[in-house]
Structure 1
Amino acid sequence: MTAPTYYAPHGGLPSQHERLHDRAIFTDAFAVIPRGVLRDIVTSRLPFWNHTRAWILARPLSGFAETFAQYLMEVSPGGGSETPEPDAGAEGALFVLEGTLDLTIGQQRHSLSPGGFAYLPPDSGWHVHNSSPAPVRFHWIRKAYDFVDGLDVPDPVIANEQDIAPTPMPETDGVWATTRFIDPDDLRHDMHLTVVTLQPGGVIPFMETHVMEHGLYVLQGKGVYRLNDQWVEVEAGDFMWLRAFCPQACYAGGPEPFRYLLYKDVNRHPSLRMGR
């Protein structure tokens, strides 16, 4: 079995001699941000983050995907933040691609290596630091937590993908599997972050059309995704952003597994009031 890998962008700029061409797409149903456009000039600096830059891959947009923001963070040695989250009502999830991230939640300290995951409840007092000699690169997903009377706020979750046995999808002989960091039956959670793995030749064999919004970051391998009415070839480092009800399916190509990090919103009634 091929060991998992986690593609992380390193920025830079293309040569002045390169041809102006890439696979970026933005439609009213989906967006594709290929890894080739994650360059230095499109990074953001964030308040109270030291020695850090971010590629902001998704943010709420009226009429498009509205539930979440997703960042690719790069924290240089000695960098980090004591006050990373500006919104006390926001929950978060981290997934490490490269390097080692020191995470503190309250009084508990954790070290997250590649494949490391953390769920961060709202107002949990977390902060991060890079005490290693190399940059650390990780995803940060933010969502306004949807509080429900009678349900407690979830506890923090710390895990690593490589310590969790993937759950095979029914009747697929393990060709299509999902690594779950959060118990899907725990209704305190209103979002999930999972790793989906398709072995070479594996397929999602129907056009999923559903209410959940998605952020999909390709960790490893390559595949072909059907998004709405288009077939799009994607590879490690590409990001796909899908609004609710965008039809979707895919098949894996190439000699190694096709794996991606998947965000979706779950377990809540749709609001009947627009903009809320």
Structure 2
Amino acid sequence: MFVSHRDEIEKKQIVSPTTHEVTKQVLVGPDQGWKDYVMRMFTLGKGGFAPKHTHPWQHILYIVEGKGTLFLDGKDYPLTAGSTAYVPAEALHQILNAGEEPFVFLCIVPEFGDK
């Protein structure tokens, strides 16, 4: 059994030339007893973005707060709190903060996709 709160879970700043203002938290995964999948929470600060990329696993997004944009296979989709999205394996995608406040979203991936 595992019970916690997002404020109690370690935050890791993602620093690379292809990201800006990205923080990652692993909320639930194998270390907490959920085998095969990982639920992460990402926070993108003002002007924040993840890299434009592809990978061989699918993932699910749920938007917690803020305004963002999902670039998916050549099209931009606006995202707000309560939005959901499914990103297929090998789809070119990117997530950006489109607002003034932090953009927070959950991302569920297979365990091997949590890099």
Larger helix fraction of residues: 2
Overall identity of the aligned pairs, in %: 23
Which residue of structure 2 aligns with residue 198 of structure 1?
44
Per-residue CA distance 1:109-139 (angstroms, 9 max, x = gap) = xxxxxxxxxxxxxxxxxxxxxxxxxxxxxxx
The structure, 1 or 2, with the larger RCO (C-alpha pairs under 8 Å, 6+ apart) is 2
Which residue of structure 2 aligns with residue 157 of structure 1?
2
TM-score normalized with structure 1 length: 0.37
Which residue of structure 2 aligns with residue 180 of structure 1?
26
- The letter for the 2-side match of 1:226 is F
Shift of 1:175: 1.4
Alpha-carbon distance between aligned partners in 2 of 1:211 and 1:157, rounded to the nearest angstrom: 29
Aligned pairs for 1:97-116 within 5 A: none
Which residue of structure 1 aligns with residue 15 of structure 2?
170
Q: Secondary structure, in 3 states, of the residue corresponding to 1:202?
A: strand
From 215, 221, 228, give the equivalent of 2:66. 221
TM-score normalized with structure 2 length: 0.82
**Mapped contact 1:218–1:238 kept (Cα < 8 A):** yes
**Mapped contact 1:216–1:260 kept (Cα < 8 A):** yes
Per-residue CA distance 1:182-205 (angstroms, 9 max, x = gap) = 46789x831000111100101113
Alpha-carbon distance between aligned partners in 1 of 2:11 and 2:30, rounded to the nearest angstrom: 14
Shift of 1:221: 0.3
RMSD over aligned Cα atoms:
2.6
Alpha-carbon distance between aligned partners in 2 of 1:174 and 1:204, rounded to the nearest angstrom: 7
1:236 equivalent to 2:81? Answer: yes
Q: Secondary structure, in 3 states, of the residue corresponding to 1:267?
A: helix
Alpha-carbon distance between aligned partners in 2 of 1:183 and 1:214, rounded to the nearest angstrom: 14
Q: Structure 1: which 5+ runs fail to align? A: 1-155, 269-276
Alpha-carbon distance between aligned partners in 2 of 1:158 and 1:174, rounded to the nearest angstrom: 30
Alpha-carbon distance between aligned partners in 2 of 1:259 and 1:202, rounded to the nearest angstrom: 11
Residues matched between the structures, number: 111
Alpha-carbon distance between aligned partners in 1 of 2:29 and 2:36, rounded to the nearest angstrom: 11
**Mapped contact 2:42–2:107 kept (Cα < 8 A):** yes
Between stretches 235-244 and 162-171, larger displacement belongs to 162-171
Larger strand fraction of residues: 2
Structure ID, larger Rg: 1
**Mapped contact 1:189–1:267 kept (Cα < 8 A):** no
Per-residue CA distance 1:177-227 (angstroms, 9 max, x = gap) = 1111246789x831000111100101113x221122111011000111111
1:267 equivalent to 2:115? Answer: no
